[in-house]
Structure 1
Amino acid sequence: MPRPRNQVERRAQLIDAAGRAVVRVGATTVKLRDVAAEAGITPASVLYYYPDLQELFSAVFEHGAATYFGTRREAIAAAEGPVEQLRACIRSGVPWPGEGEESTRLLFELFPLALRNDAAAQAHRLFFEQQTDLYRQVLEHGRDRGVFQLAADAWEVGRSFVALEDGYAMDLLVSTTTAARIEARLLAHARLVTGNPAFGEDAAG
């Protein structure tokens, strides 16, 4: 394959192709040939840009995490007031059928990279901290306006939300719950940690 004039564009194409291959085949079984077939090029061409497949998967994770985070940030920015902002933050973290579930599945497929790859581990830590900080900002805004009576430090409460999101998302990916039930449970948690009855009293079963 001749070298494209825009190598940044080619790398972006490979990241997209690798992401599709991971979702389709699974990160534990995807091979170089799967990525090449998805991209419509030869395996040698993939290796020209990413000599190490793990490096490519790290790039896929970073891209997927950045896209996911950007979507959440936009959803919060479009909401008015602390209660609606927290609702938006929660809703944007739920793996709804379609694009939401697919993006969540991609990130979960690639999470184990953090156990073996330093760059992936750093990207994972940053991603978790970014999600936590989104919650922190919303929670502090509500606290400062007298809307929330936080049960603990805003950062720690934010971490609890992200941890719950991850656990519930795994439940969904193995087909033991639904997106609507996850949202209901997170809203119930919001009521407990903010003391605001606007989030409702009951979680779905």
Structure 2
Amino acid sequence: MTILNKIKWVLGILMIFVLIIATNLIDRNNFLRVKDSVITIYEDRLVVNDIIFEFAQYVQEKEIAMISLDSAFYGKRNNEINDKIQNLIIRYEETKLTKEEDKVFSNFKENLEDLETQEVTFVQSDFSEKESLQSIIDEVQENLHDLSKIQLSEGGRQMNISKKAVDAVELFTRLEIYVLIFLAVLVQIIILYNPKKSS
């Protein structure tokens, strides 16, 4: 085997090696995007949706106590619920929030503070100041509805990111196959090509 043939072989093998490494790095990047997207859907959307559901249950319990004028509820249970809500707020704040979600969540926290204040006023008024308490409960429930819609929207956005990454992996895999076939043919031509020397 002549030196020229050896160089041809080495160049052919190097071309294939570089192609495989390049497509591998692209595939790795796309798989990381899919992984991050799936983690985000779980940690920042599904878990948060569960927290929102728990908030809603506690707010509903407060509303039922208001409607039924449950003085025993305001004696002890309401303080327990307020503590649980504070723990849920801490858990919620540990997740990644979008700009819109951060704005709605801040408004939600302000409304919760107003709710606690209105509950004290409601108890002090001997359970007669229902309208303002109901109004703030409605606002809190509207915040929870908005937060829930944001989770759905963001979950869909993350799914689209995953889908695009998977589609890119499929496209690069197809391209890789075509380029490998082309390179294999090219390497064969380079190796087998033997120009006739003119006499």
Higher relative contact order (CA closer than 8 Å, sequence separation 6+):
2
TM-score (norm 2): 0.33
TM-score (norm 1): 0.32
